[in-house]
Structure 1
Amino acid sequence: MKEFIKRCLHSSVKVKMIAVVVIFTTAAFAFHSYQAKSTATGQRAGNLTPIVDAYSIKRNDMVRQIELSGQTVPESQVNITAKYSGKITQVNVNLGDQVTPGQLLVMQDTKDVDATLAQNEAALRQATADAIASDVSFDTSYQKAQSDYQLSVSEYQRYKTLYGVGGVSKEALDKQEQQMAAAKSTLDSYTKQIVGGSAASVASKQAASDKERGVIDSLQIQKNDMIMRAPRAGVIGFRQAEVGMMAQPGQELLSIVDNSNIYVDCAVSEQDIGQIAMGTSVSISLESLGKSYTGRVIYISPAMDPKTQTFTVRMSLDNRDDSIKTGMFARTDINVVLRQQTLFVPKEAVVSLNGTNRVFVIDDRNQVSERTVQLGLRNDKYVEILSGVNEGEKVAVTNLSRIKAGMNVKTNDVSQ
């Protein structure tokens, strides 16, 4: 009997323990369900009030930033090329040497030119002497013809007078008249040779002399071209000339780079060139140096390059230094004012549908209203609003798909 009572008591304790476990588990499950339901309810309640970024509309200059790339260019770069074929006998500069105007750089062998010059100088002297001799000979003959004619006229007049008094025969008078005519013909022959104050024979000799002089001048120019001098100051940036080598016409031997001023040349598209003006301030970045410089536009090409279909814009640097070299890659930002003191909003704030542009305006109570707007100019980030909104109003920029007119929203100000 006692054993039975013990068994019953033991079973009762087990039942009580199981009951406690069941009650605790049920309570935990009910609490978890309540929490999940509360969270879901809270989430649904939060979804009724979207959070949007709001932009406050202010009247300001609408600016567009034009990003360009180009490279640095020197004040000048002059290539020294051979004009004539010839062996190089002197090279007086090395890479990196500073040169001054007129400095002797390269000399070619001029022996052949010197020999030809000597021959033509002798031919010039001979031609000059022939011209002088011809001039003296013609002048002497011309003066004699004039004298002979004057004498024959006098003789004819004397014979005519004698014939009138019977002192000479008609035959003698006719003979004297023939002599006068012959003298006149000789004089006319010399007179007709005179053109521009000189006789034709003399002019021919003088032309031969002038021709020889022209040949000499041409040879002298050739000799000077074979003695190459620096046309301006600068630094030798290229050298492909050695003593003993044969230079060919058109071959580049040296290059003189003048870095006294450094510029940046950029290629600009047709759609951007009209917005860049002379004197526009620019910001120039040289990535190889890790430095930025300020500058301004000093040149805009008047015509498009037919090969690249772009225009060239040159900019000068305000604060250049000696670390800048020719040919460095450069990036340039040009800020262009599209419209002064106008209203504009971020592009994301505008909803376009069926040709109608709209924005969502948020009032002081954070209530949304829908407005139809007329758009104007655009830049990379903003679009101009010509009508439909007023200065000081706020428009929604994000979450536009979840808001509609009459709805209340929460806002984050993203105005600049």
Structure 2
Amino acid sequence: MKKVIQMLLRSSMKTKAVIIVAVITVAGFSFLGYQVKGSAKVQHTSDLKPAVDVMLLQRKDMTRQIELTGQTVPESQVDITAKYSGKIMQVNVGLGDHVAPGQILIVQDTSDVDAALAQNAAASRQADADAVESNATFDASYQKSQSDYQHSVINYQRYKRLYDIGATSKEALENAEQVMTAAESSMNSYSKQIVGGNAAAVESKQAARDKAHAAVDSLQNQRSDLTLRAPRDGVIGYRQAEVGMMAQTGQKLLSIVDNSNIYVDCSVSEQDIGQIVNGMPVDISIDSIGKTYTGRIIYISPSMDSKTQTFTVRIALDSRDDNIKTGMFARTNITVPLRRQTLFVPKEAVLSLNGTDHIFVVDSNNQVTDRVVKLGLRNDKSLEIISGINEGEQIAVTNLSRLKTGITVTPTTNDQ
């Protein structure tokens, strides 16, 4: 432009006029070209159709996935503990050994118990003898008192007849009466000692005998408890016992694990427990093994755990696998029904604006209509539609922010 001005200054009037006309012409054509280009650009933008995923609404059973995690547990795990303190004299099993019911596992020292048992056995025999002697003595004394009384009664009656005919003195009669009264008192004292068929003195001796017997029985049980036996089939899964060590009362020495059946115990929240029923089939994944097993729910706890605020559900595996060990992490997804034959859409297909929920319906001409809908149940991925759309209609699932009533879209199929 600077060069054009310099040329104008140096040129003649005629030349100046020609140059000015040429500049104006070029500027006009440039302006017209810009307008045409801009118009074409606007027209191209208006012809764009947003691409959206669409899905056809069909009535289906709406379900929900409940994810549970837990641990594998054995059929049984029994801890073998020392009931009494004592030195260990024998340990007959090692880790991994299979044991049968009644098999001797550990033997503790019984020498002190044997000595006490011998002493109490002697005391028990003495108590037996005392009870027999007491019973015999009482029976003899009681029978004698009865005999003395009967004899005194006969003697009194004889003196009474003699007195009546004047053959004896009144003093002799009174003496006979006193003897009879004394004999009766003696007999009555023995009679009053009898309670439930036995005399009190005899009962006391028999009680002492029973106490001595009980002491012997207790020591025999203690001696038996110093020999620890297997209560059931299983495998030794824990051992903390060696010959010569002193076992303390209540100390865990062995553990027997029975893996003949493996279960999975899971914790379930209050929100989900109502959807789970006994007998429900499930698939259980054990990540450490990399396998999935089939099973079924066999137990639902009747009350909530006060500490964890959850319920316990036990799952039984359908088949046994020796690779499964106690305490392995396991997980499962349980499918539970929410509503049968209802309409539901993915959560991303619903747009919430100003307290209302919207869905964009795409008709056969690929034109969009904004519908206000009412929502019902929901699960992790879907929302139930109670009203606002009908079965067989096609809805947009993606790119909702670019949609409004009346625009045309480019639909792609959504597999949900």
- TM-score, length basis structure 1: 0.89
Task: Give how far 1:354 is off.
Answer: 3.2
Task: Give how far 1:360 is off.
Answer: 1.3
Which residue does 1:328 correspond to in 2? 328
Task: Give how far 1:42 is off.
Answer: 7.6
Amino acid at match of 1:358: H
Amino acid at match of 2:292: S
Greater mean alpha carbon deviation, residues 155-164 or residues 68-77? 155-164
Q: How does 1:77-226 map to 2 (within 5 A)?
A: 77-226=77-226
Which residue does 1:231 correspond to in 2? 231
Q: Percent identity?
A: 66
Amino acid at match of 2:179: Q
Contact 1:56 1:415 in 2 (8 A): no
Contact 1:293 1:320 in 2 (8 A): no
Amino acid at match of 1:319: S
Question: CA separation in 2, counterparts of 1:253 and 1:340?
Answer: 56
Question: CA separation in 2, counterparts of 1:364 and 1:174?
Answer: 139
Amino acid at match of 2:45: R
Question: CA separation in 1, counterparts of 2:388 and 2:124?
Answer: 92
Contact 1:374 1:388 in 2 (8 A): yes
Greater mean alpha carbon deviation, residues 115-124 or residues 389-398? 389-398
Task: Give how far 1:196 is off.
Answer: 0.9
Q: Report whether the alignment pairs 1:382 with 2:382.
A: yes
| Residues 38 and 283 (structure 1), Cα distance of their counterparts in 2 relative to 1, 3 Å cut | farther
Q: Report whether the alignment pairs 1:276 with 2:286.
A: no
| Residues 414 and 94 (structure 1), Cα distance of their counterparts in 2 relative to 1, 3 Å cut | same
Q: How does 1:54-73 map to 2 (within 5 A)?
A: 54-73=54-73
Question: CA separation in 2, counterparts of 1:154 and 1:393?
Answer: 124
Task: Give how far 1:41 is off.
Answer: 5.5
Question: CA separation in 2, counterparts of 1:220 and 1:412?
Answer: 86
Amino acid at match of 1:362: V
Task: Give how far 1:212 is off.
Answer: 1.0
Contact 1:64 1:337 in 2 (8 A): yes
Task: Give how far 1:355 is off.
Answer: 2.9
Give the secondary structure class of the aligned counterpart of 1:145. Answer: helix
Give the secondary structure class of the aligned counterpart of 2:305. Answer: coil
Which residue does 1:52 correspond to in 2? 52
| Residues 408 and 154 (structure 1), Cα distance of their counterparts in 2 relative to 1, 3 Å cut | same
Task: Give how far 1:319 is off.
Answer: 2.4
Which residue does 1:7 correspond to in 2? none
Task: Give how far 1:37 is off.
Answer: 7.3
- Large movers: runs of 4+ above 4 Å: 36-43
Question: CA separation in 2, counterparts of 1:377 and 1:273?
Answer: 18
Which residue does 1:345 correspond to in 2? 345
Task: Give how far 1:353 is off.
Answer: 2.8
| Residues 89 and 46 (structure 1), Cα distance of their counterparts in 2 relative to 1, 3 Å cut | farther
Which residue does 1:286 correspond to in 2? 286
Task: Give how far 1:352 is off.
Answer: 2.1
Which residue does 1:404 correspond to in 2? 404
Q: How does 1:20-39 map to 2 (within 5 A)?
A: none
- For structure 2, the 5+ residue unaligned runs are 1-33
Greater mean alpha carbon deviation, residues 51-60 or residues 255-264? 51-60
Which residue does 2:296 correspond to in 1? 296
Task: Give how far 1:116 is off.
Answer: 0.4
Amino acid at match of 1:121: A
Task: Give how far 1:168 is off.
Answer: 1.6
- What count of residue pairs does the alignment treat as equivalent? 384
For residues 332-354 of structure 1, give each alpha carbon's deviation from its aligned partner in whole angstroms, at most 9, with x where no partner exists. 11111111111111111112233
For residues 33-77 of structure 1, give each alpha carbon's deviation from its aligned partner in whole angstroms, at most 9, with x where no partner exists. 99x979956861453x21111122111111111111111100000
Question: CA separation in 2, counterparts of 1:74 and 1:252?
Answer: 19
| Residues 39 and 249 (structure 1), Cα distance of their counterparts in 2 relative to 1, 3 Å cut | farther
Question: CA separation in 2, counterparts of 1:414 and 1:150?
Answer: 118
Amino acid at match of 1:376: G
Amino acid at match of 1:327: G
- TM-score, length basis structure 2: 0.89
Give the secondary structure class of the aligned counterpart of 1:322. Answer: coil
Contact 1:52 1:398 in 2 (8 A): yes
Give the secondary structure class of the aligned counterpart of 2:118. Answer: helix
Contact 1:74 1:259 in 2 (8 A): yes
| Residues 357 and 244 (structure 1), Cα distance of their counterparts in 2 relative to 1, 3 Å cut | same
Give the secondary structure class of the aligned counterpart of 1:373. Answer: strand
For residues 268-297 of structure 1, give each alpha carbon's deviation from its aligned partner in whole angstroms, at most 9, with x where no partner exists. 112111111111111111111110011111
For residues 112-144 of structure 1, give each alpha carbon's deviation from its aligned partner in whole angstroms, at most 9, with x where no partner exists. 011101100100000110000000000000000
